[in-house]
A and B are shown apart, each in its own frame.
Chain A
Amino acid sequence: MSPRTVVVLGASGVGCRFALAANAAGHRVTLVDEHPQALKDMSIDAPYFYGAGLPAALNNANAIAQSFLEANPELMECLESGIDVRLSTILWGAFRNGENSIHIGTPKAGLVSREGNELLDHDVLVIASGVRDFVPSFLGWELPGVFGAKAGLALLDYYGVFEGERVLILGTSDIALRLMRSLRSKQITVAGVVEPGSSIAAGPEAAAWIEGEGIPVHFGKVIASAKGKVAVEGARLVTLDGTGSEEIACDSIAVAVATLPNVELPAAMGCGMRFSTELASWVPEVSIQGETSVDDVFYLAPKADEAMIEAMLARISGAARAEWQPSSLTLADASSYIQQWIKSLHQTGGPDVIMCQCESVTRGEFCHLEPPKYLGQGMRTSQTPTNQTDNPHAPRLDQDLVKRMTRVGMGHCQGKRCRDEAAFTLVQRFGIDAEDIRPGSYRFPLRPVDLSLIADDDETDDIRLNWQMWPYETRNA
């Protein structure tokens, strides 16, 4: 076997395990992860939803880097085994020759860090990009003190800078349980758990643990609003029919409804995608070797097991390409849980809640495809986004259209906060299955990047001198 140059994106557990195995097999491995993130990047809420209340202790970059490493023994192992580990580095794009782009040469991964940017040549790309927070909108969700479960876990377990003392939890799925266990292990009070359904989504064992901890559970309710002037001071809950309500005192509201896979890289690279009901997300189609529809681009799902790592490594080391296979993961149905939350929140909260924080667009404005307020102009006739077609395989609705008309998903966070609520809102409002939507497109860069960091500072003469003044220079050719 000839060693290959492998870029692994994502130093989660499975990313690190794969990197170690590939390194041990003799491949040249570079492992890239955006964590620990700069404060400015954390404020964009991708991949974790920190909200507006970032603890001041995060400013101490050295201490943060130290505790991040200490909390990640597998990452330490990667460093010690000689893997080229790039932390606090964003993989903003990946480029390889393909249809209508045949001048890239060797595949390139665009990396950017505080030091600047680099195009890293490689053979194989392994995407182990993990998951992000799903945080649906409610009144006051922009207040400091509202955050997502993954963000909470990062503050608690990676950085050790969690500041909350009384945390209200929204949701009862596995991720909610993980968060509550971490909070309780640090003696932090869980003020209560909110669940629109009538049972604990994570199952009876979890229910017994919650009861044992004496945590109050509010079944049949959702949050109506986060209360507080400059930060969260409490939450108002309502019953689903809107008749009963109660106030809970808390300084933090953790949204722990679900996590969703980070798929922006395979989507933006043009890998074949399918909708997974279990994961409530479009995910790359992969073979049993984890290979996507793009040769030498692999996707390592967050729950991938050792057998998958082995099969992938065999393929990278020269085994023949295997056929497609549908995912064999059997998971809870995240789609219906997410949909239950969105439905309950919208039914109790109404159309006037801001859904897109970057562009200040309400749910109602979004559903009616209204132009942004700064244009100061309305529409002659109200419109719906569903299309007409005779094609049985066509999407029934194009999320990009709604996005470009309303700007929900076009703001500074690149839609990381709102795109999923937006998609499921369209599903509910227009009675379409999620797989019949064309989801909003993902584009490079995968995170917003400072122009001064990404601009090419070693431009070749070839590019410099042959740059075309579109399109006029050619007119007399």
Chain B
Amino acid sequence: MQNYDLIVVGAGILGLATAYQARKAGAKVVVLDKGATAYEASSRATGYLSLRGETPEESPLAQMAEKLWDGLDEELGYPTEWTQRGRIWAAVNERELAELKELYQSFEKTDIAFEFVDGQALRKMIPSLTDSCLGGIHTPRSGHANPQRTSQAFAWAFTDLGGEIREYTPVLEVLATGGRVKGVKTPYGEIHAPRVALCAAAHNTLLLAPFGILFPLAPVRLEALVTTPMPPLFDQCFIGNGLSVRQTKRGNLHMNGGPYEWIDLEIDKESPKPTTPIVRNILRRAIETIPLLKGAQFLRSWAGIVDMAPDQMTTIHLFDNPEGLLTVAASGHGFGMAPAVGVAMADLALKGATSLPIEHLSLNRFRHITSDWREKRRWHAGQYNT
């Protein structure tokens, strides 16, 4: 009963997208999660696709993702709320404007249509934007979707094809013999398969450590919230004044931002993700950015955990030893990347290679990193806003 072609560890959006593509290609796949489907970052994200002007090595993959996003509702058969209306990254003071202009040089290294526009142009796109907005980067393409709905769409599309998801089943250990992956160990027994895809966000680090592999990922807690619904204000992805703010199809303003708290994880435990009084500062900034929001009410807040690599890029890696093992993690922008990641990971798992542009994303780029990298970076547990 337990002979699968592929075990996917983690039912977040990256694991589910991987599982869906592998199942679609005919593999027998089981997804295991220590909690419920998409209960971690994948349901807590803001929901943007970023075309990665700030990390040009990733932007070819992000562009692939965008193409897939455009057909995703139809592909999966469930609504994702995908809204392809561009992305605005605005500066609301001189300091931010200078920083953005500098960052824009990196954007220009891609072949994506980005443009630097002034405050007036941005206010034309978002009339409710504060007068103090001085300008910013406009990406005419890109868009946003509903994270929980999209993750669940992948989950249902996967199970519709006969895939299997087992929740509340933590993977304690990856099993290997003679240089080959054999399966995984859970508290309820072993499950066997010749291929294991680790899509467990920052838990990947813990699951790979027994093999002497260092996957440098630092978990960090971030806060988010929504307001009550407002009349339609804008439908682009908006970033500015230290916040990401998106208006949902229902009208709620969904936002995240603010200080980070670096934390540690345990392998089989759900990490607490408390909200802090910082939500008051997020709301203050929201009003500064879009003064009309004064008229809304604060409805709900939560926090989520992001898995950050030293260079803040996505990592996709197929190991030679143990053979059959592969892993992915996306440094806080895995939601937008997921449709493309799923294809690349399924290719790697089933064919050992992919034509997707991931050549700069392997773990090899960290081969000189030492195990104390988090301390050096001041990203170790307990650090706040570093």
Q: Which A residues are within 8 Å of any B CB, using their own CB?
A: 92-93, 95, 98-104, 108, 110, 117, 119, 268, 270, 371-372, 374-375, 377, 379-381, 383, 387-391, 393-395, 398, 400-401, 404-405, 407, 410, 412, 414, 438, 441, 443-445, 448-452, 454-457, 459, 463, 466-475, 477
Contact = CB atoms under 8 A, between A and B. Distances in A.
Contacts of A468: 242, 257-260, 385
Nearest to A397: B36
Which 7 A-B pairs give the minimum distances between C-beta atoms?
A380-B77, A394-B168, A456-B280, A390-B188, A455-B284, A377-B79, A448-B297
A63 to B, nearest CB: 27
A455 B293 CA distance: 11
Contacts of B275: 93, 95, 268, 443-444
Given A381-B160, A389-B166, A470-B260, A438 B299 contact: no
Given A270-B272, A377-B79, A449 B298 contact: yes
Contacts of B258: 467-468, 470
Nearest to B73: A377
A120 to B, nearest CB: 11
28 contacts: A93-B277, A95-B276, A98-B274, A100-B263, A100-B271, A101-B261, A103-B261, A377-B78, A379-B78, A381-B160, A390-B188, A390-B189, A391-B169, A391-B188, A404-B43, A412-B297, A414-B299, A445-B300, A454-B298, A455-B284, A467-B259, A468-B258, A468-B260, A470-B244, A470-B258, A472-B54, A474-B386, A477-B377
Contacts of A371: 78-79, 149
B130 interface: no
A234 B256 CA distance: 48
Given A463-B259, A470-B257, 20 more contacts: A98-B272, A101-B221, A101-B261, A103-B261, A103-B276, A119-B277, A371-B149, A375-B249, A387-B36, A388-B164, A389-B167, A391-B168, A394-B167, A412-B228, A412-B229, A412-B299, A445-B301, A454-B298, A456-B281, A467-B285
Nearest to A465: B95
A388 B77 contact: no
Interface of B: 36-37, 39, 43, 54-55, 73, 76-79, 81, 96, 99, 103, 148-149, 152, 156-157, 160, 164-169, 186-189, 221-222, 227-229, 242, 244, 249-250, 256-261, 263, 271-281, 283-287, 293-302, 306, 308, 311-312, 331-332, 377, 382, 384-386
Contact of B296 (A388, A451, A473): A451
B283 A451 contact: yes
A89 to B, nearest CB: 16
A459 B259 CA distance: 13
A108 B165 CA distance: 41
A55 B261 CA distance: 48
Contact of B166 (A98, A390, A438, A454): A390
Q: Dominant SS at the A interface?
A: loop
A323 to B, nearest CB: 23
Contact of A99 (B188, B249, B272, B283): B272
B113 to A, nearest CB: 20
Contacts of A390: 166, 169, 186, 188-189
Contacts of B188: 390-391
Contacts, number: 213
Contacts of B244: 470
B301 A444 contact: yes
A178 to B, nearest CB: 32
B368 to A, nearest CB: 17
Q: In this complex, which of A102, A268, A444 has the most chain B Cβ atoms within 10 angstroms of its Cβ?
A: A444
A388 B167 contact: yes
Contact of A451 (B73, B77, B160, B227): B227
B34 to A, nearest CB: 9
Nearest to B378: A477
Nearest to A450: B297
B169 A459 contact: no
Contact of B312 (A391, A454, A471): A471
Contacts of A394: 167-168
Contacts of A477: 377
Nearest to A377: B79
Contact of A100 (B76, B169, B274): B274
B228 A448 contact: yes
A103 B381 CA distance: 12
Contacts of A98: 272, 274
A367 B242 CA distance: 40
Nearest to B308: A471
Nearest to B55: A475
Contacts of B189: 390
A405 B152 contact: yes
Contacts of A395: 36, 168
Contacts of A268: 275
A389 B280 contact: no
B247 to A, nearest CB: 13
A469 B137 CA distance: 14
Contacts of B187: 391
Contacts of B168: 387, 389, 391, 393-395
Nearest to B156: A383
Nearest to A359: B250
A95 B78 contact: no
B211 to A, nearest CB: 25
Nearest to A387: B167
Contacts of A404: 43, 148-149, 152
B201 to A, nearest CB: 14
A225 B114 CA distance: 58
Q: In this complex, which of A98, A268, A448 has the most chain B Cβ atoms within 10 angstroms of its Cβ?
A: A448
A454 B103 contact: no
Contacts of A455: 280, 283-284, 286-287
B249 A451 contact: no
B276 A389 contact: no
A477 B383 CA distance: 15
Contact of B284 (A108, A119, A459, A466): A459
Given A101-B261, A390-B189, A468-B259, A451 B279 contact: no
B386 to A, nearest CB: 8
A388 B165 contact: yes
Given A390-B188, A467-B258, A438 B385 contact: no
A388 B258 CA distance: 37
A448 B299 CA distance: 5
A463 B244 CA distance: 17
Contacts of A372: 250
Contacts of B165: 387-388
A441 B302 CA distance: 10
A412 B250 CA distance: 12
Contacts of A469: 96, 99, 242
B249 A374 contact: yes
Nearest to A102: B382
Nearest to B240: A469
Nearest to B299: A448
A373 B190 CA distance: 43
A457 B294 CA distance: 13
A470 B168 CA distance: 31
A202 to B, nearest CB: 37
Contacts of A381: 77, 156, 160
B277 A95 contact: yes
